[in-house]
Homo-oligomer: A and B are copies of this chain.
Amino acid sequence: MSGRFDLRPGETRLTAPLQMQAELTFIGHIESPWTLSDCPRNLAQARETGQGAILHILPQFRPALEGIGAGDALVLLYWMGHAPRDLLRQVPRHRPDGTGTFSLRSPARPNPIGMGVVRVTGLEPESGILRIDAIDAVGGTALIDIKPHLPRVDDPPDA
Residues in B with CB closer than 8 Å to A100 are 63-68
Cβ–Cβ contact B102 & A64, under 8 A: yes
How many angstroms from the CA of A20 to the CA of B144 in the assembled complex?
11
Stoichiometry (number of copies): 2
A-B contact pairs, 10 of them (CB 8 A): A14-B60, A19-B26, A21-B25, A22-B144, A64-B100, A64-B110, A66-B99, A73-B157, A119-B158, A134-B157
* Smallest CB-CB A-B distances: 8 pairs: A67-B103, A66-B100, A67-B99, A73-B156, A20-B23, A64-B101, A102-B146, A18-B25
Q: Which residues of A does B touch, CB under 8 Å?
A: 12, 14-16, 18-27, 42-44, 47, 60-61, 63-68, 71-73, 75, 77, 79, 81, 85, 88-89, 99-105, 109-111, 113, 115-119, 133-134, 142, 144-159
